[in-house]
Structure 1
Amino acid sequence: IGRFSGQDVPPSLLTTSHETTVYFHSDHSQNKPGFRFEYQAYELNECLDPEPFRYGVVVGAGYNVGQSISFECLPGYQLMGHSILTCEHGTTRNWDHPFPRCEVPCGGNITSDNGTIFSPGYPEEYPSSADCTWLITVATGLGETARKLGVFTDGEPNEPASSTSNQILVRFRSNTEKGGLFRINYQGM
């Protein structure tokens, strides 16, 4: 765990073993009044289980002291908080950061060749007066100039919109009445 000498008192030391050996060695140069050593045993509990992690997955199954786990969100969701947490030493078991969460962003830049866009707050209803813009960029297309693909309200379009450009801009504006949700699947060709 450590090696200490002189008159400086070391900080509290922690070990995860049920057995610890302390070696004391003096150098014969002079007599000193000695030392005092206090110890405390405690149960080696695990940190709290992060499951269920809504709209994402937890990578790693170790919840013991010193072990780390990471968090990943499902496609269409964004991680809010720290992606890697480590179980800390101490008499109580705590992660070094609060559990993150996965939320649907209101807009953003998307570069994957296929995926899904969800309405803000999905699967809950979107808020009133939302104004979100997503720019989707896929592998280079034929390079057609920008044109409006359509305006869609209250339901699905008759035919799926398509573009020969490698970029599309999706803008969602809700009215002042709260309610509804949507999911848009897209695929680059």
Structure 2
Amino acid sequence: MAIRTIPSNGAWDLAVSLDKHIIRSVPIGYNDYGHMQFDTERTDIGEAVFQLKYRFDFTKVEYIANQIIAALNSQPFPKIEVVIPMPASKVRAKQPVTEIAKKVAELLGIYCSEDTLEKIKPTGAMKDLETYAERSAALDGCFEIRDKISRGPWNALLIDDLYDTGASLEAACNKLRQNTNIKNISVVAITRRH
């Protein structure tokens, strides 16, 4: 893994991404339905995220969670006391990031608060929006805090699957800062675009 620190503008205290998502992706032509196909090479963690999200291979959850634990142990994170998954942009029967967050919490022996941060308006997939400004506008007012965390303040770990411009992490962390039961906010983005 090529762990990289994600610079903060004050929204979070410490954030890292574990590795790039894609090493290379080359167009190879159109399929029978007129969609461009790609020959894509991903990092190990990028391939695991791809298999989990798009091939519904939930056996990848444990591998990804163990990589997050390794990153937490190799970086100067404060003691994590609660894990929070980034709310999904796409409705699925089983949310990949939530499953990863629950596994990380289980491995750490702490609580996963699945409902603390909720997406209250649809934004579409952030990957479909090009710029930070477009993403920030789409995310404006989309998160809400559900006070499921009590007796804090706690050090929280927010887990997301992909870091690109940082707009969604910034919006989520700024909203989490409004919860007085959360002290420090650490972030692990499993993969990054660049």
TM-score range, shorter chain: under 0.3
Q: Which has the higher contact order (CA 8 A, sep 6+)?
A: 2
The TM-score, its normalising length taken from structure 1, stands at: 0.23
Structure with greater Cα Rg: 1
Query: Which is strand-richer, 1 or 2?
Result: 2
